[in-house]
């Protein structure tokens, strides 16, 4: 797969006829936020790496294009991606990186392998400022000199040497920054200690992949990571964890539409905060081997939610929960502590008839129960999912434009919703 040209983005829309309860079973795909740094990590070794349970997403294709542009060879067969990076270069062009912020995670492995990296400042969803200062701090803690020039991050080092670094930011630990630091430290001389590291399941999954190719990382899942550098890394096979955000999205869609949805393949231990809040709302959650079933109880209740780093309530589920909160009686308060601009969906929800007011970092949601279909504009990945949920609840027809955002993070969402009984169709 060697893609060098970039055709105009297709502006597909999603047309939804609301009022149909979702029923049935949905299979959860591999986690987008895990697979992107894992694919980037294949740059650390000359040996082939086989990654399984890879979701068919626009962001995954973009990452494969980035790897190809750097000189790696990638092969996609179903949900399996094989990468062999025998020879790689150190320059990543803006035209690729601008499509998603996750592309920044090639910085660490390139610097570790080549001792130099030039990576364009990233793009992605418009959900607030996401500075690169902690990424820069991490690379400098390992002995690199880093500067930002003409829109590019330029990092160089004679050699990388282990050290101590603190990665706590204004809104908590940096997930992508932790990933970059881990990857860079695997080939650094000596021992690296990362304090206030991100504890997200996706970071743990990256660490497990790195250990499988020969890295020595201890403390995965804790705020302190200890990495003993090695001289070289090899190849391995790895299966990506299920996508907890996708699982939460379908669970919420099911109960919002007064249906009953069984999630197959999700990890309940990755979803504790979401499950707890849904139960607090009056949702019944049943667990059997490999499956989670979500259905509405007799009476729903309003809840208060604050987004926090893992194991707190994930910011990536905030918008979907807000759509659901329009259906609960009383007042719910949703406070966003991770990204300051992650309420872009509010205006669109109001077009459907939602009553939501913004006060600083909080959204006050008045349950209205009745929404009516309208034409909407998607602004980012998770906002798009919230609009889909609201559209499925609303009476009449809702049309959501710019759904390429959805294609970045949800594998065949329209097909999965149809299988559950949703009246959804993609419109060119």
| CATH number of the domain where residue 85 is located | 3.65.10.10
Q: Which domain holds residue 83?
A: 32-239
Quote the CA–CA distance of 263 and 28 in Å, as a whole number.
7
> What band does 5 get if pLDDT is binned at 50, 70 and 90?
very low
* Contact predicate 227/162, CB 8 Å: yes
What is the pLDDT, as a whole number, of residue 3?
Answer: 39
- Same domain, yes or no, for 334 and 352? yes
Rounded to the nearest integer, the mean pLDDT of the chain is 93
Residues 6+ apart with CB under 8 A from 288: none
Q: Is residue 4 part of a domain?
A: no
Catalytic, 199? Answer: no
End position of a domain, from candidates 239, 269, 291: 239
pLDDT for 7 beyond 70? no
pLDDT for 127 beyond 70? no
> Tokens standing for 94?
């803006």
Q: Is residue 402 part of a domain?
A: yes
Q: In what order do the strands lie in the sheet with 304-306?
A: 304-306, 331-335, 362-366, 355-359
Quote the CA–CA distance of 152 and 256 in Å, as a whole number.
44
- Same domain, yes or no, for 20 and 115? no
Q: Report which DSSP code applies to 363.
A: E
Instruction: Establish whether the linkage from the previous residue to 221 is cis, with ω within 30° of 0.
Output: no
> Tokens standing for 410?
């949800």
Q: 3-state class of 85 per DSSP?
A: coil
Helix (H) or strand (E) holding 165: strand 164-166
Q: What's the total number of domains in the chain? A: 2
What is the pLDDT, as a whole number, of residue 1?
Answer: 42
Q: CA neighbours within 13 Å on the CB side: how many for 164?
A: 3
CA neighbor of 53 nearest in space, from 86, 72, 27: 27
What is the pLDDT, as a whole number, of residue 308?
Answer: 95
What is the pLDDT, as a whole number, of residue 94?
Answer: 80
pLDDT for 4 beyond 50? no
> Tokens standing for 116?
């130099």
Q: Is residue 203 part of a domain?
A: yes
Query: Among the options 49, 64, 105, 125, which is catalytic?
Result: 125
- Same domain, yes or no, for 157 and 20? no
- Same domain, yes or no, for 20 and 144? no
302-330 residue pLDDT tens: 999 999 999 999 999 999 999 999 999 99
What is the pLDDT, as a whole number, of residue 102?
Answer: 72
- Same domain, yes or no, for 338 and 387? yes
Lowest average pLDDT, out of 130-144, 386-400, 405-419, goes to: 130-144
> Tokens standing for 281?
């709302």
- Surface-to-core class of residue 61, CB atoms within 10 Å of its CB (0-12 exposed, 13-18 middle, 19+ buried): middle
Q: What count of other Cβ atoms lies within 10 Å of the Cβ of residue 364?
A: 14
Q: What are phi and psi of 47, to 5 degrees?
A: -80, 155
331-380 residue pLDDT tens: 999 999 998 768 999 999 999 999 999 999 999 999 997 999 999 999 88
Q: What count of other Cβ atoms lies within 10 Å of the Cβ of residue 159?
A: 11
What is the pLDDT, as a whole number, of residue 131?
Answer: 64
- Same domain, yes or no, for 295 and 368? yes
CA 192 to the chain's CA centroid: 26
Quote the CA–CA distance of 259 and 274 in Å, as a whole number.
18
- Same domain, yes or no, for 176 and 66? yes
> What band does 128 get if pLDDT is binned at 50, 70 and 90?
very low
Distance between first and last Cα of the chain: 26
* Contact predicate 425/50, CB 8 Å: no
What is the pLDDT, as a whole number, of residue 124?
Answer: 44
157-209 residue pLDDT tens: 999 999 999 998 876 789 999 999 999 999 999 999 999 999 999 999 999 99
Q: Is residue 8 part of a domain?
A: no
CA neighbor of 254 nearest in space, from 205, 327, 315, 303: 327
What is the pLDDT, as a whole number, of residue 151?
Answer: 84
pLDDT for 137 beyond 50? yes
> Tokens standing for 160?
């990388």
CA neighbor of 132 nearest in space, from 176, 185, 193: 176
End position of a domain, from candidates 239, 259, 286: 239
What is the pLDDT, as a whole number, of residue 2?
Answer: 40
- Same domain, yes or no, for 139 and 112? yes
- Same domain, yes or no, for 154 and 233? yes
What is the pLDDT, as a whole number, of residue 130?
Answer: 47
CA 345 to the chain's CA centroid: 17
Q: CA neighbours within 13 Å on the CB side: how many for 42?
A: 29
**Can you name the residues that pair with 237 across neighbouring β-strands?**
50
What is the pLDDT, as a whole number, of residue 44?
Answer: 98
120: left (phi over 0), alpha (psi -120 to 50) or beta: beta
Pairing mode of beta strands 331-335, 291-296: unpaired
Q: Is residue 288 part of a domain?
A: yes
Q: Is residue 1 part of a domain?
A: no
Quote the CA–CA distance of 135 and 287 in Å, as a whole number.
39
> What band does 285 get if pLDDT is binned at 50, 70 and 90?
very high
Percent of the chain with pLDDT over 70: 95
How much is the average pLDDT of 257-270? Answer: 97
- Same domain, yes or no, for 49 and 188? yes
What is the pLDDT, as a whole number, of residue 390?
Answer: 98
End position of a domain, from candidates 239, 272, 306: 239
Quote the CA–CA distance of 230 and 144 in Å, as a whole number.
18
């Amino acid at each position: 797969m060697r893609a060098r040209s970039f055709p105009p983005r297709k502006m597909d829309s999603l047309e939804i006829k609301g009022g149909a309860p979702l029923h049935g079973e949905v299979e959860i795909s591999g986690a987008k936020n895990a697979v992107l740094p894992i694919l980037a990590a294949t740059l650390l070794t000359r040996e082939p790496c086989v990654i399984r349970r890879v979701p068919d997403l626009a962001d995954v294709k973009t990452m494969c294009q980035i790897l190809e542009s750097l000189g790696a060879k990638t092969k996609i067969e179903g949900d399996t991606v094989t990468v062999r990076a025998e020879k790689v270069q150190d320059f990543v062009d803006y035209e690729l990186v601008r499509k998603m912020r996750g592309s920044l995670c090639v910085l660490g492995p390139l610097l570790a392998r080549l001792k130099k990296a030039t990576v364009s400042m990233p793009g992605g969803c418009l959900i607030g400022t996401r500075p690169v200062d902690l990424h820069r701090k991490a690379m400098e803690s390992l002995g690199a000199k880093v500067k930002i020039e003409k829109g590019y991050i330029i990092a160089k080092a004679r050699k990388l040497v282990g050290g101590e670094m603190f990665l706590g930011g204004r809104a908590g630990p940096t997930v992508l920054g932790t990933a970059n630091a881990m990857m860079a430290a695997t080939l650094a001389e000596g021992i690296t200690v990362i304090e206030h590291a991100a504890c997200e399941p996706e970071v743990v999954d990256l660490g497990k992949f790195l250990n499988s190719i020969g890295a020595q990382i201890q403390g995965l899942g804790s705020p302190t990571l200890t990495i003993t550098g090695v001289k070289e890394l090899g190849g391995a096979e790895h299966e990506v964890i299920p996508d907890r955000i996708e699982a939460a999205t379908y669970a919420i869609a099911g109960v919002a539409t007064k249906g009953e949805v069984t999630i197959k393949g999700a990890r309940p231990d990755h979803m504790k905060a979401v499950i707890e809040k849904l139960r607090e709302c009056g949702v019944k959650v049943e667990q059997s081997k490999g499956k989670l079933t979500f259905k509405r109880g007799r009476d729903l209740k309003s809840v208060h939610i604050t987004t926090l780093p893992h194991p707190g309530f994930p910011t990536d589920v905030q918008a979907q929960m807000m759509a659901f909160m329009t259906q609960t009686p009383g007042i719910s308060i949703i406070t966003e502590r991770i990204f300051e601009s992650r309420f872009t969906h509010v205006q669109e929800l109001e077009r459907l008839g939602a009553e939501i007011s913004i006060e600083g970092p909080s959204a006050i949601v008045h349950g209205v129960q009745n929404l009516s279909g309208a034409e909407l504009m998607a602004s980012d990945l998770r906002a798009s999912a919230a609009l889909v949920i609201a559209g499925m609840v609303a009476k009449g027809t809702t049309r959501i434009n710019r759904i390429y955002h959805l294609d970045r993070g949800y594998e065949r969402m329209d097909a999965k919703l149809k299988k559950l009984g949703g009246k959804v169709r993609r419109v060119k």
